């Protein structure tokens, strides 16, 4: 069965690619009704590990042991997808479907149906990527760095949501309101108030409970070309655990709220400046999961968590002003997984924050459609008393810097 699905998927990809290459640049593909545009983004690269260590535990925890990497360098398959966008009723009824190709198979990312009968407004239903945080609102083809910021790599990744979204677009203001079955949230707690590295919330496309996640976002667009000011709110009640009594299941939900704000300025003369901040709070039910028999306790700190991440990115593209298709960039990332942890609350140490400093260069062969990238990433950790590779001493943080190269083609 799996082999048959693989063959059907491969045939579909070849057919779609043939249509894409047959179409002239900027034109739609001929369909039975309406119009269709096919696009795709492919990324492959090479990683050189300047630091030979990696964490022996999940990276966001206070690591107890540094371990040796399995290899010093490797070629990488970073990303591949294909997207179909079109309309069937005079551009008033639209659709978008995208597939991501991974080493373990093909995955449906987007399946979004749009209805545009109200001026300036789109009503979307299906499987949607909410525009929450700057990177989540970008096409993968328009990433200026090879890796996403810490807030998107760990806390709020590009998970699609099943639900309904109302989008408003005007000259000076965009807004969207979404109601979804719910996402997986990271990190989670176990009963004693410590982090266990697992997620909480929906693990499938369905809904684990009667609650829904609600997302509201607004983007102000002042009369300065390329400037956006963003503010967003996300609230969800993911399932924490079930309590079973007399054969009846009673759900206990957590409450999760995220606030996101940022500014991005993509100037027509080549300057880029992006600042983004994300602050989240988790509140767990005072009842412990069914695997345990006691309460979490009267101290609220035993089942609450706050996490915060931000980054600042600046870049300059020499193309618009000097006709040199080279862009230099730098980004500083910070993430504190648990802002409440101290000796009396969630852990024995406050030293759990992560920082990344990325310095990179992009060479645009043809805009984002064909580009080469090189990033140096300096990983910094506040972890103290990490056992070294030999196991005979301790150190602060681990030696895990990276040099990454990537080639991208997008159409």
| 225 belongs to a structural domain | yes
Amino acid 287: pLDDT: 54
Amino acid 289: pLDDT: 46
Amino acid 61: pLDDT: 56
If one compares 231 and 7, the residue with the highest pLDDT of the two is: 231
Taking only the tens place, the pLDDT of each residue in 152-196 is 998 899 989 999 999 999 999 999 999 999 888 876 554 344 445
Q: Which residue has the tokens 């080549």?
A: 270
Q: Is the pLDDT of residue 275 over 70?
A: yes
| 2 belongs to a structural domain | no
Taking only the tens place, the pLDDT of each residue in 317-328 is 999 999 999 999
| 142 belongs to a structural domain | yes
User: How many domains does one find in the chain?
Assistant: 1
Q: Exposed, middle or buried, 216 (CB in 10 Å: 0-12/13-18/19+)?
A: middle
* HSE-up of residue 65 (Cα within 13 Å, Cβ side): 9
| 43 belongs to a structural domain | yes
| 106 belongs to a structural domain | no
Q: Measure the CA–CA gap between 51 and 292, rounded to whole angstroms.
A: 40
63: its two tokens: 């690591």
Angle, vertex CA 78, rays to CA 125 and CA 181, nearest 5: 25
What is the pLDDT of the chain when averaged over all its residues?
Answer: 84
| 158 belongs to a structural domain | yes
| 17 belongs to a structural domain | no
Share of the chain above pLDDT 70, in %: 80
Predicted confidence band of residue 385 (pLDDT cuts 50, 70, 90): confident
| 29 belongs to a structural domain | no
Predicted structure pTM score: 0.86
Count of Cβ atoms closer than 10 Å to residue 125 Cβ: 14
Taking only the tens place, the pLDDT of each residue in 87-133 is 999 889 999 999 999 877 888 999 999 999 999 999 999 999 999 99
Q: What is the mean pLDDT of residues 237-247?
A: 78
Amino acid 294: pLDDT: 42
CATH number, domain with residue 305:
2.40.160.10
Domain extent at residue 327: 38-77+118-410
The string of DSSP codes covering 247-277 is TEEEEEE-EEEEEEEEEEEE-TTSEEEEEEE
Amino acid 295: pLDDT: 46
């Amino acid at each position: 069965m799996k082999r048959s699905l693989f063959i059907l998927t491969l045939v579909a990809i070849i057919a779609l690619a043939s249509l894409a290459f047959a179409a002239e640049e900027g034109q739609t593909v001929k369909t039975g009704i309406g119009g269709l545009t096919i696009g795709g983004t492919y990324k492959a690269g090479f990683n050189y590990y300047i630091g030979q260590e990696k964490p022996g535990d999940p990276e966001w925890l206070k690591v107890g042991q540094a371990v040796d990497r399995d290899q010093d360098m490797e070629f990488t398959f970073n990303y591949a997808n294909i997207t179909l966008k079109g309309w069937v009723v005079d551009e008033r009824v639209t659709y978008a479907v995208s597939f991501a190709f991974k080493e373990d198979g093909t995955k449906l990312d987007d399946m979004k149906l749009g209805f545009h009968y109200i001026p300036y407004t789109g009503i979307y239903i299906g499987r949607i990527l909410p525009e929450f945080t700057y990177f989540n609102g970008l096409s993968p083809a328009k990433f200026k760095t090879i890796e996403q910021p810490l807030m998107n790599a760990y806390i709020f990744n590009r998970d699609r949501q099943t639900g309904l979204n109302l989008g408003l677009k005007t000259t000076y203001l965009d807004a969207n309101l979404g109601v979804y079955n719910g996402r997986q949230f990271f990190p989670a707690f176990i009963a004693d108030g410590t982090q266990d590295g697992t997620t909480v919330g929906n693990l499938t496309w369905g809904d684990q409970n009667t609650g829904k996640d609600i997302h509201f976002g607004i983007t102000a667009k002042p009369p300065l070309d390329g400037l956006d000011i963003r503010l967003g709110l996300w609230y969800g009640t993911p399932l924490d655990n079930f309590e079973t009594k007399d054969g009846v299941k009673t759900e206990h939900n957590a409450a999760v709220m995220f606030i996101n704000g940022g500014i991005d300025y993509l100037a027509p003369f080549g300057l880029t400046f992006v600042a983004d901040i994300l602050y989240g709070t988790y509140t767990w039910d005072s009842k412990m999961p069914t695997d345990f028999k006691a309460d979490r306790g009267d101290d609220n700190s035993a089942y609450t968590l706050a996490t915060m991440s931000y980054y600042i990115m600046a870049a300059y593209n020499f193309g618009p002003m000097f006709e040199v298709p080279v862009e230099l960039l730098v980004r500083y990332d910070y993430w504190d997984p648990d802002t409440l942890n101290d000796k009396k609350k969630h852990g024995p140490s406050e030293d759990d924050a992560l920082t990344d400093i990325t310095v990179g260069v992009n060479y645009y062969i043809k805009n984002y459609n064909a580009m080469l990238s090189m990033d140096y990433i300096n990983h910094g950790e506040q972890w103290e008393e990490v056992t070294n590779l030999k196991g005979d001493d301790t150190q602060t943080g681990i030696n895990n810097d990276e040099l990454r190269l990537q080639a991208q083609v997008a159409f």
